Structure formats: structure tokens, C-alpha cells
Amino acid sequence: MSIENTEEVVKSKNFIEQIIDEDLESGRFDHVVTRFPPEPNGYLHIGHAKSILLNYGLAEEYNGKFNMRFDDTNPTKEKEEFVDSILKDIEWLGADWEDRMFFASDYFDQMYEYAVKLIKKGKAFVCDLNAEEMREYRGTLTEPGKNSPYRDRSVEENLKLFEEMKEGKYADGEKVLRAKIDMASDNINMRDPIIYRVAHINHHRTGDKWCIYPMYDFAHPIEDAIEGVTHSICTLEFEDHRPLYDWVVNECEFENPPKQIEFAKLYVTDVITGKRYIKKLVEDEIVDGWDDPRLVSIAALRRRGFTPESIKKFIELVGVSKSNSSVDYAMLEYCIREDLKAKKPRIMGVLDPIKLIIDNYPEDQVEYMDVTNNVENEELGVRKAPFCKELYIDREDFMEEPPKKYFRLYPGNEVRLMNAYFVTCTDYKKDENGNVVEIHCTYDPETRSGSGFTGRKVKGTIHWVSARHAIKSEVRLFENLVDEEKGKLNEDGTLNLNPNSLVVREAYIEPSFKDFEGEDKFQFVRQGYFCKDSKDYTDEKPVFNRIVSLKSSFKLPK
Ligand code: ATP
Ligand code: MG
């Protein structure tokens, strides 16, 4: 079953759509505003694509608005480089934020005012406990916490101290502002959480204007509320934070406050997601930057040759759920194959070349064979592929001593050269190490493809390129970064790396790829889908990445 067919099946609404429907019906909201709120501390990955497409998709579906917001409240790890990469990735995925791009740091003044408001209401206090004492007072999952000895400071004193925190009178960690909620709450997040901390760090946008920064659980609901977000969609680990989210928007007295909804994160088998982990691979130079095609950052997927359409299909197939699970990487591969299948020209490329010499073919002759660019899509037309006496074929298409059912080339056997002639293997040569270096054959001029020859049949068809015309290219073949068989981690917690995650081949490619103007992706017949490497490809030295092979073990669930 193809993906197209599955779309005809009427989709039942996911649980988030059901919640939104109820909210619209009950009148809690009369419109929908969603947002994607990344922290600019790394590049986005396939998991983020799910969040982006989900939030953007809901805004579109309900004729609402989609906000792009940088959640830049923690200046330690945030950088402008990441802001730029994130915008590029979101745009590439097709999520359009129009003029609705926001930075949480633009709300620092307002957040400060809300903190003051809480102090005035007796709902926040400045606390002098250090981190260790704070831990002791917090209690455990089974035991309640204890009130801080600073909890009963007067409003005046709190206002004064908080202002002094802002003015830089205190060192990092010396004082914090805490919400005054309930130290006996079953939910540890509600035990007087810290809402502001002192941090003398330069911020990538506000510079040194601030030396106090709001904590995520305080800042995030305020950001949503200021922007008029209706449905604040986040991942499951925030479920326990929801009471605090609601507490903040209620105590800050927002009208029509947003509603937080949690869904399960996307995990993909055998790949590394999580900005932290990807960052480590980049910093340890295990990979060649954030867009190394073996990664699943969006930038890496793009460089590898994935299309936005394939990622959208993948996210659609994955669906939205409330329980964590891993999706098979093979499903992502399935989506890109389906997307490229009918769209891309199919050309011949030899990745592990060995020379094939046609002894009875005239030395200087060149013929141009008609080749259909894509047998599944006639609109892509036909091309001419040059053919001459010396060709390259793939090493695995020849065997000295074939097993049963091997129908490709071996001494005495006749095969079809795709789109060209039948050839019969007559001889082969080896080097001193016993490697086959040259194969000889004869061709039958009667058997030219398209000539209507029906005299006899052969069982094997192999691809080839003309040695004189083919373009020498670098081809990069990828496998998973981590060793799937043995598990992702070694006993010492380091990554169990797959030594074959990148294999570089010197390949020969049919020259016609240069004639498809503006095209960067091709099927190399029998080998897979390939993409010009966006960084390293030049006309002088073509470099191709294999996006995916043609073989698939994945079946679309019924
Ligand atoms: P990571 O754990 O990879 O560093 P993060 O959650 O820290 O990701 P943020 O920049 O805070 O990254 O995330 C922006 C948004 O993307 C958040 O709403 C977050 O819930 C969502 N998100 C992050 N990872 C995933 C994932 N694997 N699947 C779905 N959504 C995700
Ligand atoms: Mg994060």
C-alpha cells in the first residue's frame, strides 16, 4: 500500500485535536494560537520536527496562529548561531511563522514586574538558603518538605531584596526568589520552587542588562500568556509541572490563560537525538559538525538528502500519543524512498568499479543508448547514455565461481547490460594478490536494447558506465553511528560506535547527471537514492551522499 492510499482513509482526530474541539465548543477559547519554543542551545533534530509540525499543523487546521518563540532565558548555553540555524530549519520544514517571531528575553521587564506582583500578593519571597540546604528542606517523594526560615519575610523586605538582586548586590547563588506555594505538596514542583536566580552572565540579546534570570517554570507560562497562546503543547516530562504552570498564570492574573497539553516525545531507534548528546558528538569530533549526514539533526537530514515532504510524511505516520515509544528508523527511510520514487531520474553509477572489456566491440566506436529517466514517471523523459568498448561494472556483479541462482556475470554466462547489449563473459584477469582486475566479454550486436530482439532470453541484467565517459566521483555510504547489534552504550557509558558508519568510495557515474539542471537527487539504479553533498560537491569533484538504499524491510502498518 502506498502512502497516497492511506490518505484516503478518514483520519480520526488525535487527542490534542479532541481537546481543542472541546475548548472551542465550551467557549473556553474562540480561536487557536500555538507556538514552537526552542531554546537556542543547539541545532534542532527529528524530534523537534514533530513538535514544529504538530504545532504548525494545528494552527493551520484551526485557522489560527503559529508563533515562533526562542525560549532564551538561560544565557549559559545560548548562542546566536543556534538562532540562525533553528530559523533556517523551521523554514525548510515549511512552518511559516509570518511576522510572529518572539524572544522570551524581550519579556524580561514584564517577567520582573510579574515577580514583583507575586511578592506584593505575598506569593513570593527571597530566600537565602544555599543549594545544599535547599535540597535538605525540599523533602523527598515520600516525605514533605520544610518551610524555609526566610519564608515569612515581609513584603517590604522581599521587595527591597529582590530589587537588590536585580541591581547586582548579590553573587550568583547567594539569594533566589521563590514562589510561596506548599512545602507539603505531593508534587515536588509545588514546594516553593525557585522562580528567579542571580546569574552574572552576559545574555546573547540583552547583554549585561540583567544579572537575574527567571527559571523555566516561571518564565514559560508567562511567555505563553503574554503572546495569547491558547494551547501550550509540550512533552510528557512536563506533566508534573502543569500544576505550577497553572499556578503561575492564575497568580499573575492573566485573563483567559493558556492550557498546557503534553504529548510523547519522538524517539527513533538506533539514532541519537537529544541536543546534549548530539553536541557531545560534535565537540568530541566524532562527527563532522552538526550537519554530519549520519546525524538526525534537521540540518544533517537535509544534507543527507531527506526532503521536507518525507519528514512530514514520517511525522504523520508516527502520529501523536501520550505514551513514549520508539519508531523504527526504517520508517523514515520508507518515507524518503516513497517521496523520491517517481520524482527523481534514475541513472547508472558504479560504486565498486571493475573494468569490463568487450573484445569484439570496435575500438573507437561510441553509441548513445536511449534510456528512460524514470520508468514509473514517463514525464521525466529519456536521455542518451554513452556506450563503448571499455565499461565499468560493479564488482559484486561478477563471480569467478558462482553459487546456484547467481544470474549475473561469470565465465561463460550471458547477461544483459541494462539498456544496451547482451554480453558473454569469456575471460578475466587477476593481480598478484588474486583480485580480479579486468573482465573480458563479447557482445552480440543483434541484441541491442530497443531493437526488438526476441531471439533468446537471459536471466541477469546488470548496470554499467562507459569508462571513457563516466565521471569519477566520491560516494559516501552511511550506516548508523552506533552499533545496533551490541546496543547503543558500552558498559562504561560511552557510545558504542559503528566503525562502518561512513564508507567513502571512488565511484564512476554516468555523465548524464550533469544534464539535469538544478537536480541534486538521483536514483543510482540498484544502489539507492543519492544526493549531491551540499558542502563538498563541485563540478570538478562531485561528491554524493547515499540517502538510502533501495532495500527495505519496512512494511507500512495496515
Ligand atoms: P533535547 O532534549 O533534544 O535537548 P529539548 O526539549 O531540550 O530537546 P527545546 O529547545 O527545549 O529542546 O525544545 C523545543 C520544543 O521541542 C519543546 O516544546 C520540546 O518539548 C520539543 N521537543 C524536544 N524534543 C522532542 C522530541 N524528541 N519529540 C517531540 N518534541 C520534542
Ligand atoms: Mg532543553
Which of ligand 1's atoms lies nearest the C-alpha of 267?
A: 27
Question: 132: Cβ–Cβ under 8 A, 6 or more apart, which residues?
Answer: none
Nearest to 266 by CA among 196, 200, 315: 315
Ligand 1 pocket residue status of 235, Cβ below 6 Å: yes
Mapping DSSP to helix (H, G, I), strand (E, B) and coil, where does residue 11 land? Answer: coil
Counting from 1 in the atom list of ligand 1, the atom nearest the Cα of 45 is: 3
Q: Which numbered ligand comes closest to the C-alpha of 82? A: 1
Dig out the grid coordinates for 19 from the structure: 481537546
Ligand 2 centroid to 42 CA: how many Å? 9
| Ligand 1 site, residue 324, Cβ cutoff 6 A | no
pLDDT tens per residue, the chain (558 residues)? 444 455 455 678 999 999 999 999 999 999 999 999 999 999 999 999 999 999 999 999 999 999 999 999 999 887 889 999 999 999 999 999 999 999 999 999 999 999 999 999 999 999 999 999 999 999 999 999 999 999 999 999 999 999 999 999 999 999 999 999 999 999 999 999 999 999 999 999 999 999 999 999 999 999 999 999 999 999 999 999 999 999 999 999 999 999 999 999 999 988 888 888 888 899 999 999 999 999 999 999 999 999 999 999 999 999 999 998 899 999 999 999 999 999 999 999 999 999 999 999 999 999 999 999 999 999 999 999 999 999 999 999 999 999 999 999 999 999 999 999 999 999 999 999 999 999 999 999 999 999 999 999 999 999 999 999 999 999 999 998 987 666 677 778 777 889 999 999 999 999 999 999 999 999 999 999 999 999 999 999 999 999 999 988 777 766
pLDDT, residue 276, reads 84
Give the model's pLDDT for residue 1. Answer: 42
Question: Is the minimum distance from the CB of 389 to ligand 1 under 6 angstroms?
Answer: no
Ligand 1 in reach of 266 Cβ (< 6 A): yes
Ligand 1 centroid distance, CA of 483 (Å): 25
Number of H helices, E strands in the chain: 13, 27
The 10 Å Cβ neighbour count of residue 198 is 22
Residue 265 CB less than 6 A away from ligand 1: yes
From the CA atom positions of the chain, what is the Rg in Å? 31
Predicted local confidence at residue 553, as pLDDT: 74
Instruction: Specify the residue with its C-alpha closest to ligand 1, atom 25.
Output: 47
Cell of 40: 537556542
Q: Which residues contact 333 (CB under 8 A, 6 or more apart)?
A: 548, 552, 554
Ligand 1 near 273 CB (within 6 A): yes
Is residue 59 a contact partner of residue 89, using CB atoms and an 8 Å limit?
no
Q: What is the side-by-side strand order in the sheet with 543-548?
A: 346-347, 521-524, 528-532, 543-548, 471-478, 502-509, 349-350
Best residue among 51, 93, 237 to mutate for probing ligand 1's pocket (most ligand atoms within 8 Å of CB) is 51
How far away, in angstroms, is 46 Cα from ligand 1 center? 10
C-alpha 39 – ligand 2 centre gap (Å): 6
Which atom in ligand 1 lies closest to the alpha carbon of residue 233? 18
- Please name which of 552, 556, 15 lies closest in space to residue 263, comparing C-alpha atoms: 15
pTM summary value: 0.93
Closest ligand 1 atom to 52 CA? 16
Ligand 1 geometric centre to CA of 355 (Å): 51
Is any ligand 1 atom within 6 A of the Cβ of residue 110?
Answer: no
Supply the residue whose CA is at minimum distance from atom 27 of ligand 1. Answer: 47
